[in-house]
Chain A
């Protein structure tokens, strides 16, 4: 019997510090067969093990067409993620996955795409952006709205110039520390709505970020006439198995790990438990 709880061993091949508290890791599976057959969809996540510390669900931030390696972008906030911060190229971790629903990638073909991300929420959307760049003709207008706390907290900035050749990239930050140069917007991510070009018709929305952010994003977009059945959100819940067994991630009858993390907004809105916006309650 396959044991879904036993991670594959992977070696860190590259460590790139995105910001003061976030790092992008490149991993290579030790087992050659796994390396060749392993596949995933944008928006899925892996359970990453630091042996002796524990496991944490982390979105895959590389694209399916990036073969031979897999990348994760990790914000160091707790035990596992801080332990990762101490890892160097050559160190081993455990990886199992890929788990969960991805973004409805094939539904995006022939449509406009609006991506709204906050903070670390850009990580699971990076694979979408990278695929869009590689198959640009299959999509109509693609616009990315991205907000972070400060300019220094923006992820993937070294890739922005290239991204901008393919998609409309609009940036905002909550605050600009004194002495920092910033040519973009200041304010929460929804302040970008006033300047964005995306229109409700034929547009699919993908959003990921803090739950409170997604609440206001969804509320704003619905108000502007975007269709609730074409808004997709990626949810965060505590998880310990990734495969619908440990129960920790349930939202109503849904398991965030296997029915999500990407949900159609409509599906969540129908649940009795107040979800988007029920922050802390």
Chain B
């Protein structure tokens, strides 16, 4: 029993969907809690055990100073710190606001903006060292399990680093880009979702962030050939991972 990995789950600015994926592992959940101990997981447990923990999963982007402090504490109490989901990896959707002055954004939502202390949204590696990234909005459950197994075994788990196209082809989904000439982010986006969106007749939204060797400039040029306006292209690259170098290059390409 005492050999179980101690796991903690932290929440920063997020929708809680990534941590919900733990509870969405119904078929293996009981086996999972046989192998790991959710020592700190407020969504699922009332009681929590103090650190240190073996793995800390951090969900959400950092959007205020107080979160930086909590994040630093999390870093201290965890042997392996994992960015859980695209918000924690890249700033995620909350980072969309980074390209508009904070003042303007706040005033669109609140009347009395002097009470709001929000900062630009960043992924957690802006502030602490991160040992692993589980990409996706939300994270993929299979990858989550693979990651936990890998940690139990003491190895680097195999997470697909390449483009979504590879999984699209492996499953023989109709190509959204070539066939429908719709702007699909798949060629520059990290696989691991099983090419979910193309499998459902939809262009990839880029939710998993840049793939290995992503050539976003070239894809942006193709989008432009498909008739997208410059601002449409910018919006596509500044969505889930607009802060990354790769996607910035895509946004600036045309």
A and B form one complex: yes
Residues of A within 8 A of B (CB): 52-53, 78-79, 82-83, 86
Find residues 146-202 in chain B having any chain A CB closer than 8 Å to their own CB. Answer: 153-156
- For B149, the closest partner residue in chain A by CB is A52
In the assembled complex, how far is the CB of residue A84 from the closest CB belonging to chain B, in whole angstroms?
12
- For A83, the closest partner residue in chain B by CB is B155
Residues of A within 8 A of B155 (CB): 53, 79, 82-83
Residues of B within 8 A of A78 (CB): 156
Residues of B within 8 A of A52 (CB): 153
A52 to B155, CA, bound (A): 10
Most chain A CB neighbours (cut-off 10 Å) among B153, B154, B155, B156: B155
List 8 A-B pairs, minimum CB-CB distance, nearest first.
A79-B155, A53-B155, A79-B156, A83-B155, A53-B153, A52-B153, A82-B155, A82-B154
Residues of B within 8 A of A82 (CB): 154-155
Residues of A within 8 A of B156 (CB): 78-79
Find residues 76-109 in chain B having any chain A CB closer than 8 Å to their own CB. Answer: none
* Residue tally, chain B, CB below 8 Å to A: 4
In the assembled complex, how far is the CB of residue B213 from the closest CB belonging to chain A, in whole angstroms?
14
A82 to B155, CA, bound (A): 8
Find residues 116-171 in chain B having any chain A CB closer than 8 Å to their own CB. Answer: 153-156
Knowing that A53-B153, A53-B155, A86-B154 touch, tell me 9 more A-B residue pairs with CB under 8 angstroms.
Answer: A52-B153, A78-B156, A79-B155, A79-B156, A82-B154, A82-B155, A83-B153, A83-B154, A83-B155
A47 to B39, CA, bound (A): 40
Residues of B within 8 A of A53 (CB): 153, 155
A-B contact pairs, 9 of them (CB 8 A): A52-B153, A53-B153, A53-B155, A78-B156, A79-B155, A79-B156, A83-B153, A83-B154, A83-B155
- For B155, the closest partner residue in chain A by CB is A79
A86 to B156, CA, bound (A): 15
In the assembled complex, how far is the CB of residue A91 from the closest CB belonging to chain B, in whole angstroms?
15
In the assembled complex, how far is the CB of residue B80 from the closest CB belonging to chain A, in whole angstroms?
15
Most chain B CB neighbours (cut-off 10 Å) among A52, A78, A79: A79
A136 to B153, CA, bound (A): 46
In the assembled complex, how far is the CB of residue B64 from the closest CB belonging to chain A, in whole angstroms?
38
In the assembled complex, how far is the CB of residue B240 from the closest CB belonging to chain A, in whole angstroms?
29
A86 to B153, CA, bound (A): 11
A22 to B155, CA, bound (A): 18
A205 to B156, CA, bound (A): 38
Residues of B within 8 A of A79 (CB): 155-156
Residues of A within 8 A of B154 (CB): 82-83, 86
In the assembled complex, how far is the CB of residue B22 from the closest CB belonging to chain A, in whole angstroms?
23
In the assembled complex, how far is the CB of residue B131 from the closest CB belonging to chain A, in whole angstroms?
15
